Amino acid sequence: MTSLAHFEKLAGAIKLPHQAIIEGRLVASSTGATFDNISPRNGQVINQIALCGEADVDTAVASARRAFEDQRWRKLHYRDKKRIMFRLADLMERDLEAIALLETLDSGKPIRDTTAFDVPSAIRSLRYYAEALDKVHGEVGPETSDRFSYAVHEPLGVIAAIMPWNFPLHLTMWKVAPALAMGNSIVLKPAELTSMSALKLGELALEAGVPPGVLNVITGKGSVAGKAMALHMDVDMLTFTGSGPVGRMLMKYSADSNLKRVSLELGGKSPHIVFKDCPDLDAAAAHAAFGIFYNQGEVCTAGSRLLVEAEVHDKFLEKVVAAGKGFVAGDPLEPKTNFGAMVSEVQMKSVLGYIDTAKQDGAALALGGNRVRAETGGYFVEPTVFDGVMPDATIAKEEIFGPVLAVTTFRGADQALKIANDTIFGLASGAWTSDMTLAHRCARELKAGLVWINGWDACDITMPFGGFKQSGVGREGGVEGLKTCLETKTIMLDQMPAELELSV
Ligand code: NAD
């Protein structure tokens, strides 16, 4: 039986990863510089992490390039690649509790979520792509008498992955597993706020038998190490999850360097629509609260705009507020805690700033609105609901990336869909209705990469994930996720003319 005391003891005993991983070795940065790793749980510095710079990125990219060119990973039989990836999954399972602890210490997420979701989900994604790696085939062209055409897939080469801090390991595996499965080499940079689970992953990959140089992990600042990766002339692809402003910079860096492929998973301001004929208001309220308060609202698919039809507004708001009260800020290391800390002081202040703006704009505060547990030194903001939010208000337009729900009332489907689509984002969306025709209309007309009908946040590695509009470029997940890591080569064999054949 686990307890706060158990996890506190483990946190004191466990070795906290802090060195980068290049060419299969755990190394300090080339200058020896480090940066403070602060736990949002209590604002304390818990260790020092290697502050990698351009020189370290160069070394890591060179290591990844060597591994790719000598084919130490790519040439392995697919059965061997699969065996090694499954072994890595088994090692992650062996160390699940320790990895979950690192993730919680770094990010402030509740330990019950990191043990029940983040790490198991990363393991599932790894096994999914290990299982799929021998199921990606090329194609054969139409039959002709004079030519045989076919297309094959080849790994891209060196893939640089730059990660956010909200689901550090879970999202890392969406990139690392398909890249590995398809035979690429990787330089991975976790967000500077959450480096430890990626470092642990790199160590376990070596233990599992992934050859040195195939998975390198660089830690440090985005504006230095991340930028150097994005501008690097020997990186073939950049895969990024994070904010829109950084995503834009990465496209420029690609254009300014070698036109490396760029795949972007960016932000959202997702509309969650509740129609008056919602089949189950209690279930919808539970999903609406989960959709914005899970992971402290630090979720790219957070249902941050709740659109409620006027006829059910009062009743529904009451239920959402009641459901929101079920998320209670607590010590992330306490296994009962279901609502943890914001990832950093900066993020906490940003969220509190949005709350102030909403108040000034005249929205009605229906729940929360404050920093809590300040005495712990941690960065906690309570679940917050604003009602009467105008569709063009700041908190209805901008991604807050925190536990702040904006409730807007609408009349009729036309207005709901208009408000829902009036955004620069297009990641997720959802609608609750008993009317199949209306459900299909929403599925067709919502401009988003994900549409959930009578549910919320049902993500599954087997299906494509990604955004319309400014929410991203490309898709992860499913077989599409594998194809992102591949080049396609078309080969045409012309039949030799008869006279040439004779002269041979
Ligand atoms: P961020 O963009 O600030 O940072 C993401 C990564 O980019 C970090 O590793 C950072 O070091 C790096 N970076 C920063 N500046 C850089 C630069 N100039 N060059 C290269 N790299 C640089 O994002 P964040 O604050 O870590 O994450 C929150 C954002 O991520 C939100 O907008 C959220 O919606 C989005 N997100 C999207 C998804 C998705 O799948 N669509 C998932 C999670 C998070």
- The mean per-residue pLDDT over the stretch 168-182 comes to 98
Going by C-beta distance under 8 Å and a sequence separation of 6 or more, which residues neighbour residue 125?
170, 173, 174, 177, 461
With a pLDDT cut of 70, the percent of the chain lying above it is 98
Predicted pLDDT at 295: 98
Query: Pick from 402, 405, 406, 414: which is nearest to 441 by CA?
Result: 414
183 Ramachandran zone, left/alpha/beta (phi>0; psi -120 to 50): left
Find out whether 171 and 46 touch, Cβ atoms under 8 Å: no
Is 60 exceeded by the pLDDT of residue 222?
Answer: yes
Q: Classify each residue of 440-470 as buried b or exposed e, where b means 16 or more C-beta atoms within 10 Å of its C-beta.
A: eebeebbbbbbbbbbebbeeebeeebbbbbb
Q: Name the residue with the closest Cα to ligand 1, atom 33.
A: 267
Is the minimum distance from the CB of 252 to ligand 1 under 6 angstroms? Answer: no
Instruction: Please state the atom number of ligand 1 nearest to the C-alpha of residue 190.
Output: 9
* Residue pair 74/169 in contact by the 8 Å Cβ criterion: no
Q: Please give the average per-residue pLDDT across 6-22, as a whole number.
A: 97
pLDDT at 483: 93
What is the mean pLDDT of the segment spanning 147-152? 96
**Closest residue (by CA) to atom 37 of ligand 1?**
266
Enumerate the active-site residues.
265, 300
Write the CB contacts of 193 (distance below 8 Å, at least 6 apart in sequence): 106, 107, 165, 343, 344
DSSP 400: -
What whole-number distance in Å separates Cα of residue 340 and Cα of residue 366? 21
475 C-alpha to center of ligand 1: Å? 16
Mean pLDDT of 205-232: 98
476 Cβ inside 6 Å of ligand 1: no
Confidence band, pLDDT 50/70/90 cuts, at residue 459: confident
Q: Using one digit for the tens of pLDDT, what is the confidence trace for 17-55?
A: 999 999 999 999 999 999 999 999 999 999 999 999 999
**Ligand 1 centroid vs 242 CA: distance in angstroms?**
2
Q: What is the mean pLDDT of the chain?
A: 97
Residues 97-122 have pLDDT tens digits of 999 999 999 999 999 999 999 999 99
Cα–Cα distance between 9 and 120 in angstroms, integer? 23
> Hey, what are 307's tokens?
């659109």
Band of the pLDDT at 1, cuts 50, 70, 90?
low
pLDDT on residue 458? 81
| Sequence-separated (6 or more) residues with CB below 8 Å from residue 485 | 155, 156, 159, 178, 179, 181, 182, 184, 237
- Sequence-ordered list of residues with C-beta below 8 angstroms from that of 385, at least 6 positions apart, any chain: 317, 320, 321, 324, 365, 366, 367, 368, 404, 405, 407
Q: What is the pLDDT of residue 217?
A: 99
Model-level pTM?
0.97
Kindly report the protein residue whose alpha carbon is nearest to atom 12 of ligand 1: 222
Task: Write the pLDDT tens digit of every residue in 363-405.
Answer: 999 999 999 999 999 999 999 999 999 999 999 999 999 999 9
pLDDT at 496 over 80: no
The residue among 144 and 98 whose pLDDT is bigger is: 98
Tell me what the mean pLDDT of segment 126-134 comes to. Answer: 98
| C-beta 267 within 6 A of ligand 1 | yes
Ligand 1 nearest atom to the CA of residue 471, by list position: 41
Looking up tokens 């992650």, which residue turns up?
92
What 3-state class would DSSP assign to 313?
helix
- Confidence at 495, pLDDT banded by 50, 70, 90: confident
How do residues 284-335 score in pLDDT, each as one tens digit? Answer: 999 999 999 999 999 999 999 999 999 999 999 999 999 999 999 999 999 9
**Both tokens assigned to 144:** 């002709």
Residue 310 to residue 274: CA distance in whole angstroms: 10
Which one, of 493, 496, 482, 450, lies nearest residue 178 by Cα? 482
CA–centroid distance, residue 298 to ligand 1 (Å) = 12
Query: What pLDDT score does 65 carry?
Result: 98
Q: What is the pLDDT of residue 499?
A: 61
* Cβ 237 vs Cβ 160: under 8 Å: yes
- Distance (Å) from CA 72 to ligand 1 centroid: 31
Nearest ligand 1 atom to the CA of 189 is 9
Please give the average per-residue pLDDT across 193-220, as a whole number.
98
CA 241 – ligand 1 centroid, Å: 5
Task: Give 461-501 as a DSSP string.
Answer: TTS-B--SGGGEES-BSHHHHHHTTEEEEEEEEEPPPHHHH
Tell which atom from ligand 1 comes closest to the C-alpha of 427. 41
For residue 503, pLDDT beyond 80: no
Residue 504 has pLDDT above 60, yes or no: no
Distance of CA 130 to the CA centre of its chain: 19
The pLDDT-based confidence of 259 (bands split at 50, 70, 90) is: very high
